[in-house]
Amino acid sequence: MAGLTRERRTAYLLGLPAALITAALFLVPLALLFAVSFTGADGFSLSAYARLFGSEHYLWVIGNSLQLALITTLVTLVIAYPASFAIARAKGVWRSLLLGSLLLPLAASVIVKAFAWTILLRSTGIVNNTLIALGLIHEPIRMIFTETALVIGAVNVFLPFMILPIFAVVAQMDERLTEAAATLGAGPVAAFWRVTVPVTLPGVIAGIALVFSLTVSAYVVPTLLIGERYPTLPSTIAKAYLLTNEGSFGAAAGVVLLTIALAVVIVSSRLGKAPGAAR
């Protein structure tokens, strides 16, 4: 017993520097942010939150952020799930090639990628020209600064964060599991839903948590791809601090943003555990 305690004490001591750094760099600033969000002209006040939740405009802003994050997460999931299997099943050079084409763009700045989409999607851009050449449309359609362009850009920027966690799980998956399911009489559809999906679920959950929290807090992508007419929580925070000098309002918007991201991470990890626990 005494040995265990000593061991535990050593572990705590060894963990202390990391804990101190975490506290100083993350917990204290978060506590400050939280505290500032509850201040008004004379001390404690809920006015910042009242303004956020009491006006139709800011509810719409919160809705915009949620909508963008939700759609982007769904679209990336639909693309990433099969893509992860393709990469995991690919052999040798193909696998390196696929992984490289996924990872290399991460080195390019998000500003460059967002800017590139405004070039591709403009009325004389390659997308419109291709659609016209194929006879699908007769004159260029307006694509830049639309919600569609925003989702396309966001999916492009955040896709790797969905593929990588799913790929990591799929690459580890024992292929004999589906064979075993087949031996036990499961058809391909049943094997997929009852074996493959549950096994890959932790990767999917991690991907959803990552992409959702990155998208809901994205600033550059919405700013460059749709501008001020689609205000989001991050643009509201920037405006509060840089333009109108309202620290407590910016902090309150930050707390709401953080709460949304945390809620998604917590709920999704709960959901991720549930089916495994039931089995």
- Cα pseudo-dihedral 185, 187, 188, 193, rounded to 10: -90
CB 253 within 8 A of CB 233: yes
Q: Which is nearer to other proteins, 47 or 269 (CB)?
A: 47
- Contact between residue 253 and residue 240 where contact means Cβ atoms under 8 Å apart: yes
- For residue 47, the minimal CB distance to other proteins (Å) is 14
Rounded to a whole number of angstroms, the minimum distance from the CB of residue 216 to other proteins is 19
Given the complex with other proteins, which of 4 and 243 has the nearer CB atom?
243
76 or 236: CB nearest other proteins: 236
Cα separation, 88 vs 91, whole angstroms: 8
**Pairwise CA distance, residues 241 & 219, whole Å:** 14
Smaller CB separation from other proteins, 112 or 277:
112
Separation between Cα atoms, residue 64 and residue 170, nearest integer Å: 33
Interface contacts to other proteins, rule CB under 8 A? 55, 57, 115, 118, 122-124, 142, 144-145, 223-224, 226-229, 231, 236, 239, 242-245
Residue 151 or residue 164: which is nearer to other proteins going by CB?
151
- Exposure letters 127-163 (e unless 16+ CB within 10 A, then b): bbeeeeeeeeeeeeeebbebeebbbbbbbbbbbbbbb
CB of 247 to other proteins, least distance (A): 12
- Count CB neighbours of 210 within 10 A: 19
Could you tell me the smallest distance in angstroms from the CB atom of residue 110 to other proteins? 13
Q: Minimum Å distance from CB 243 to other proteins? A: 5
Residue 235's nearest CA partner among 216, 261, 248 is 216
**Beta carbon of residue 17, minimum distance to other proteins (angstroms, whole number):** 29
Strand partners, 40: 43
Q: Which is nearer to other proteins, 199 or 238 (CB)?
A: 238
14 vs 112, beta carbon nearer other proteins: 112
| Shortest distance in whole angstroms from residue 72 CB to other proteins | 21
- Write phi, then psi, for 137 (nearest 5 degrees): -130, 160
> How is 102-125 classified by DSSP, letter by letter?
HHGGGGS-HHHHHHHHHHHTSTTS
